[in-house]
């Protein structure tokens, strides 16, 4: 015989178990002066190239997703010179974080310990502050940096 009409829709079944959490994701942010030496005793950079000459953190910072920054690495093309130094600090919303390192004398690199970190809330601004010694001015130099950024 002929097939009969479809029956009524049944009740919704029970919700299944929640799946496992996804992996944490880390990215490496990079930036630098891109052919321009640091300009002045206090300047700011954001991720990407072409920084090093911005006069305010607000012009350099970029909004970040929820996460944690750690392992700041900085490299100069030319060492600061005898008695001179350059300090680099990760800023969160314009405020200094524990991620700070100094390059002095004949050195050209610095790395912040993996034990140091800075948490960021969704939308917090991130910038890198560069400050040069003023008693003995450092030799002109270009520079670059990298920062590990982990998101939950």
Domain membership of residue 43 (yes or no) is yes
Which residue matches tokens 């944690």? 68
How many independent structural domains does the chain possess? 1
Dmax over Cα atoms in the chain, in whole Å? 101
**Domain, as residue range, for 34:** 25-112+123-151
| pLDDT(59) > 80 | yes
Domain membership of residue 68 (yes or no) is yes
Number of H helices, E strands in the chain: 1, 11
pTM beyond cutoff 0.75: yes
Domain membership of residue 79 (yes or no) is yes
What three-state secondary structure class fits 137? coil
Domain membership of residue 4 (yes or no) is no
Per-residue pLDDT reduced to its tens digit, 28-48: 999 998 888 887 899 999 998
Domain membership of residue 10 (yes or no) is no
Contact (CB, 8 A) for 44 and 127: yes
Residue closest to 43 by CA, chosen among 145, 147, 150 = 145
Domain membership of residue 91 (yes or no) is yes
pLDDT, position 1: 83
Domain membership of residue 87 (yes or no) is yes
Domain membership of residue 56 (yes or no) is yes
What three-state secondary structure class fits 23? coil
On the CB side of 5, how many CA atoms lie within 13 Å of its CA? 3
The answer to which of 17-31, 63-77, 105-119 has the lowest mean pLDDT is: 17-31
Residue closest to 28 by CA, chosen among 69, 76, 88 = 69
pLDDT, position 114: 81
CATH of the domain at 73: 2.60.120
Per-residue pLDDT reduced to its tens digit, 78-128: 999 999 999 999 999 999 999 999 999 999 999 998 889 999 999 999 999
């Amino acid at each position: 015989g002929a097939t009969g009409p479809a029956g009524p829709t049944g009740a919704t079944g029970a919700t299944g178990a929640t799946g496992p959490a996804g992996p944490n994701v880390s990215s490496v942010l990079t930036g630098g002066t891109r052919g321009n030496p640091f300009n002045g005793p206090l300047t700011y950079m954001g991720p990407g190239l072409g920084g090093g000459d911005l006069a305010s953190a607000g012009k350099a910072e970029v909004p970040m997703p929820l996460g944690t920054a750690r392992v700041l690495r900085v490299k100069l093309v030319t060492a600061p010179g005898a008695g001179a130094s350059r300090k680099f600090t990760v800023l969160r919303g314009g405020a200094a974080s524990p991620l700070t390192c100094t390059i002095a004398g004949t050195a050209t690199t610095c790395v912040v310990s993996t034990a140091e970190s800075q948490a960021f809330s969704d939308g917090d601004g991130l910038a890198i502050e560069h400050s040069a010694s003023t008693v003995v001015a450092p030799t002109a130099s270009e520079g670059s940096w990298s920062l590990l950024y982990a998101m939950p």
